[in-house]
Amino acid sequence: MNKVILFNPRSANSKYRIPNSILQVGASIHGQYNYVFVDGNMEHDPWAKIEEYLATGEYRFFGTTAMPGPQLQEAIPFSKRAKEKYPDTINIWGGYFAANQYRVVMGAPYIDFVINGPGDKAFPALLDALTNDTPYEFIPNLIYQSPDGEIIQNRKEDLLDQDALADLPYDHLHQFYPLEGYLSQTYLGERTLAYHSSVGCPFKCSFCAVVPIYEARWKGKNAKKIYADVKKIKTEYGADSIEFHDNNFFVSEKRVAEFSRLMIDEGMSWWGEGRIDTIDRYSDETLALMRKAGCRMIFFGAESGNDEILKEMDKGGKQTAEQIKRFAGRMRKFDIVPEYSFVLGMPAATPEKVMAQIDSDIEFIKEVKTINPDTEIIIYVYSPVPTEGSDLYRRITEAGFKFPTILEDWLSPEWQAFDLRKNPLTPWLKAEMVDKIKNFETVLNAYYPTAADVKLTSFQRRTMRQLSAWRYRRSWYQFPYELKVLQKFWLRYRQPEIEGF
């Protein structure tokens, strides 16, 4: 009766990644509890699979991981149905959505517990308490409801030593879903492994969902441990490249350099997310070593070319517009592609100021492209994340922004679009502002077709560039329908929100 289902709701339409969240939660109970994985990405009808398990009467714990966006489309109705049809089921949610929006999650009558941040100790401790009928009220990282309906958020525990965690149960996952099915073609290689080597981030950017959970803390596995895992998946399952899914893979230069030395003869390309100001402090030797060891591209939150906005975002106070440009040039010397993401449409005192900020960021992006044309640009329209207590949060709330107060409301098309940063629902952004951002993106993507689309032919690249040249040079972005049509058929721009990175 005490068996566990670990469910990863559908998050992508293709190129499914290893479901690292439930894999790591599985590691925490491996050998102690009998558990199964259900991956919504891999199942045609995941509810049928879940019900098959629940109907045996052996499964009491239903653990669901939830990010904002498409995962909620399965997470919410399946948790609800599980409780309605099998009332003894205990629904436990974890992941970024559950932790950041815990009030609305716990407010749903069918959710019993939320794990707030790392579940490596909290999850087995909760299962032990529920199994042995002992108190769970003091388990760190746990959120629960008291008998009188109050939502209690327990204290957070210190980040655990990542090297002391149990090994990831890849072979167990393989029994449910062949691991080869998770190694898909990307810009980096034919069979790319998704790996998560650290938790948290030492910074406190005011718009970031990592901050409320990790509170500027970071801990990573050591280089040898990462290398051993990579080597296992390479040897046993054929991985030829790696995507590091860490929030900030590059916090420690020493760790990155050591990992690079270990990787030098492996012939694997890799990618990760980092900060411009951190990696700008790396020595030339480390950057050259990284490239030699396979580091092909790094994702950076460049965010804006406006120093005032960068300050407001609390990027740690060290990243400047000047540095963003200079660093793009430095990366070029080492043949590592900087992938810069920008967030346009931040709030300002007047609509004219919002528009002026958008215009100046567009000009800035063009400057970066002139300095290093290989720079990959990803543009987001600003969607607020509530880092309670931050000045930015106060301002967006004052400007009339409100999150849903009922869990099911997150299923509405408007909030789905919000999650995918397609429709920001922010009162200060007018339609013409969003149009300008989107149209610029279309022209930019045509003038500089992404190198990450491995299927794009040189004829297609040339045609899009020629067609868009007059618009790009004259800053004329309105109604770029001719480019939209071509892009619809030809361009597979990297869309992290639906396909991965």
Binding-site ranges for ligand B12 (CB under 6 A): 8, 11-12, 17, 19-21, 24-25, 41, 63-65, 67-71, 92, 94-97, 100, 115, 117-120, 123, 196, 208-210, 245-247, 385, 419-421, 496-497, 500
Closest residue to ligand B12 using C-beta atoms: 94
Q: What's the min distance (Å) between Cβ of 424 and ligand B12? A: 12
Q: Which helix (H) or strand (E) holds 8?
A: strand 3-8
Q: What's the min distance (Å) between Cβ of 436 and ligand SF4? A: 24
The residue count for binding ligand SF4 (CB under 6 A) is 11
**Choice from 105, 168, 205, 452 touching ligand SF4 (CB under 6 A):** 205
Query: Tokens 């879940």 correspond to what residue?
Result: 50
From the list 312, 332, 448, 298, the residue with the least C-alpha distance to 384 is: 312
- Cβ contacts of residue 148 below 8 Å, gap of 6+? none
Q: Does the protein bind ligand SF4 through residue 203 (CB under 6 A)?
A: yes
Output the CA torsion 187→189→193→195 (10° steps): -50
Q: Does the protein bind ligand SF4 through residue 83 (CB under 6 A)?
A: no
Q: Which is nearer to ligand SF4, 45 or 388 (CB)?
A: 388
Q: How many angstroms separate the CA atoms of 444 and 369, rounded?
A: 10
Please give the DSSP secondary-structure letter assigned to residue 145: E
Name the binder of 246 from ligand B12, ligand SF4, none, CB < 5-8 A by kind. Answer: ligand B12
Near ligand SF4 in 260-279, by CB under 6 A: 275
Q: Which is nearer to ligand SF4, 112 or 303 (CB)?
A: 303
Q: Does the protein bind ligand SF4 through residue 452 (CB under 6 A)?
A: no
Q: Does the protein bind ligand SF4 through residue 245 (CB under 6 A)?
A: no
Angular region, 421: left φ>0, alpha ψ -120 to 50, beta rest: left
Q: How many angstroms separate the CA atoms of 110 and 119, rounded?
A: 20
Residues 291/252, Cβ–Cβ less than 8 Å:
no
Residues 19/66, Cβ–Cβ less than 8 Å:
no
From the list 61, 75, 70, the residue with the least C-alpha distance to 4 is: 61
Amino acid present at 107 = G
Q: What's the min distance (Å) between Cβ of 198 and ligand B12? A: 8
Q: Which is nearer to ligand SF4, 72 or 385 (CB)?
A: 385
Q: What's the min distance (Å) between Cβ of 224 and ligand B12? A: 19
Name the binder of 24 from ligand B12, ligand SF4, none, CB < 5-8 A by kind. Answer: ligand B12
Applying CB under 6 A, the span of 201-209, 251-259, 363-371, 434-442 interacting with ligand SF4 comes to 201-209
**Choice from 4, 125, 193, 211 touching ligand SF4 (CB under 6 A):** 211
Q: Which is nearer to ligand SF4, 20 or 73 (CB)?
A: 20
Q: What's the min distance (Å) between Cβ of 192 and ligand B12? A: 12
Taking 3-state DSSP, the helix, strand and coil percentages for the chain, each rounded to the nearest 5, stand at 45, 15, 40
Name the binder of 275 from ligand B12, ligand SF4, none, CB < 5-8 A by kind. Answer: ligand SF4
Q: What's the min distance (Å) between Cβ of 241 and ligand B12? A: 16
Q: Does the protein bind ligand SF4 through residue 387 (CB under 6 A)?
A: no
Q: Does the protein bind ligand SF4 through residue 440 (CB under 6 A)?
A: no
Q: Which is nearer to ligand SF4, 212 or 294 (CB)?
A: 212
State in Å, rounded, how far the first CA of the chain is from the last one: 39
What order do you get walking across the sheet with 59-65 strand by strand? 35-39, 3-8, 59-65, 90-94, 113-115, 142-145, 151-153
Q: Where are the beta strands (DSSP E) in 304-458?
A: 337-344, 376-381
Q: What's the min distance (Å) between Cβ of 341 and ligand B12? A: 10
Name the binder of 301 from ligand SF4, ligand B12, none, CB < 5-8 A by kind. Answer: ligand SF4
From the list 33, 34, 41, the residue with the least C-alpha distance to 7 is: 41
Tokens of 431: 């339609």
Three-class HEC string of 186-200:
ECCEEEEEEECCEEE
Tokens of 394: 């106060």
**Choice from 9, 40, 272, 301 touching ligand SF4 (CB under 6 A):** 301
List the x/- string, 1-40, binding to ligand SF4 by CB under 6 A: ----------------------------------------
Q: What's the min distance (Å) between Cβ of 208 and ligand B12? A: 6
Report how far apart, in Å, the C-alpha atoms of 227 and of each of 224, 237, 266, 297 are: 5, 15, 10, 19
Q: Does the protein bind ligand SF4 through residue 390 (CB under 6 A)?
A: no
DSSP 292-324: HTTEEEEEEEEE-S-HHHHHHTTS-S---HHHH
Where do contacts with ligand SF4 occur on this chain (CB under 6 A)?
201, 203-205, 208, 210-211, 247-248, 275, 301
